[in-house]
Amino acid sequence: MKTRLRLALLAFLFSVAPLRAAIPPEEAANTIILNDVGVKNLRIETVEAEEADFEETVFALGRINVAPGKRSIVSSRVPGRVVSIEAHIDTRIRMASEALTVEARQLGDPPPRIRLPALISGIVSAVNVVEGQPVEPSQSLVEIVDLSTVHATASVPEHLVSKLTAGMKARIHVLALPGKEFTAELAHIGAAVDGKNGTIEAAFHIPNEEYELRPGMRAEFSIITSKREGVMSIPREALQGDTQNRCVYRKHYDTSLKNTFVRVPVVVGAMNDRFAEITSGLVAGDEIVTTGAYSLGFAGKGSVSLKEALDAAHGHEHNEDGSEMTPAQKAARDAAKSGEKGDGSKFSTLTIFSLASNGLLLVLLVVAMLRKPKAETI
């Protein structure tokens, strides 16, 4: 029975004891509190920081090209002139379909005509003649490219070539197709370095059945060279600040504080095209702002003060720095307020008395001047 009484007494004392520093001052200075409208306007989204597999990558730029052996030229075996052209630029053509017809430069009535078919299926990339034009066997009349599989070539800096081996996977993003990602394996590495820019070619073959990828398109390559397990990482878009002062915005640990975010400095390790390794500043499970993190840096103190948020969440008053207001602080505040009101009423009474006194003196002066006897004239 005595033990229960002691526990009840301790629980009561802890419940009434003020929490002197609910939020450390340095954290309060980096705290941003938004209302629901602010969250929607900034499009705030969060993810949990977690330990996961981290991929080491090599980044390179490159272009989409026609795959080797996927380009065909239609030509005439005999000299003559073009009678008709069935192939049209930038349109698909099937293998064995008629591309154009040439009238041979031979005797006959009429002269013999030769139908020239497409040797592969693909897209007509060039038509180099017009009807009636004379042609020779050495001429390229129609060009066709097969884009069902394309050749994506990355220009890798030569000092990184030692990290590459055939079969490595890469994530490929094409600037003309935002939001799309292509995955392919490294097919082969170039035989020679380009002396002008100090790079070597790394080639990937990408299926392209819908013909979305076209030769000449610019591409970005993230070639996965290795993988580490159990690495604390976050999406790169969550990382803010310059290279010397990296930070993230973490959701406040106090779940009663709605839409409250704290600016947390972090130490960054390796980075790839998706994630950044965090070596210090976060623990697994921290909820980190991704979308909207950049905008939070311009939100200042937000749309709600720390005091207002804590008062609403905990049901009692706090100071501006987030610490809980003690009875002594409340008494001092109330005394200051009453003193301000008292000073204001005294000032008002004194003002009225002064005005009344001055008015009375003015009246008496006027009366005295009117009652002053006039001087006799001689």
Give the whole-angstrom CA distance, residue 251 versus residue 262: 6
Q: What's the CATH number where 96 sits?
A: 2.40.50.100
Contact 247, 240 (CB under 8 A): yes
Q: Are residue 217 and residue 238 in the same domain, yes or no?
A: no
Q: Assess if residue 18 is contained within a domain.
A: no
One-letter amino acid at 371 equals R
Q: Are residue 172 and residue 303 in the same domain, yes or no?
A: no
Residues 6+ away with beta carbon under 8 Å from 146: 66, 67, 70, 71, 72, 120, 121, 122
Q: Are residue 82 and residue 34 in the same domain, yes or no?
A: no
Q: Which two tokens stand for residue 83?
A: 């009678």
Give per-residue burial for 302-339: e unless 16+ CB within 10 Å, then b: bbbebbebbeeeeeeebbeebbbbeeeeeeeeeeeeee
Q: Which domain holds residue 197?
A: 58-66+153-227
pLDDT tens, residue order, the chain (378 aa): 544 544 444 443 334 333 334 556 667 778 888 888 888 999 999 999 999 999 999 999 999 999 999 999 999 999 999 999 999 999 999 999 999 999 998 888 888 999 999 999 999 999 999 999 999 999 999 999 999 999 999 999 999 999 999 999 999 999 999 999 999 999 999 999 999 999 999 999 999 989 999 999 999 999 999 999 999 999 999 999 998 999 999 999 988 888 899 999 999 999 999 999 999 999 999 999 999 999 888 876 555 554 554 454 445 565 554 556 666 666 666 666 665 555 544 445 556 666 677 677 777 776 777 776 655 544
Give the whole-angstrom CA distance, residue 30 versus residue 300: 9
Q: Are residue 80 and residue 49 in the same domain, yes or no?
A: no
- pLDDT for position 319: 57
Phi-psi region of 69 (alpha: psi -120 to 50; beta: other; left: phi over 0): left
Q: Assess if residue 342 is contained within a domain.
A: no
Q: Are residue 254 and residue 200 in the same domain, yes or no?
A: no
Q: Assess if residue 326 is contained within a domain.
A: no
- pLDDT for position 9: 42
Q: Assess if residue 320 is contained within a domain.
A: no
Note the pTM of the prediction, 2 decimals.
Answer: 0.66
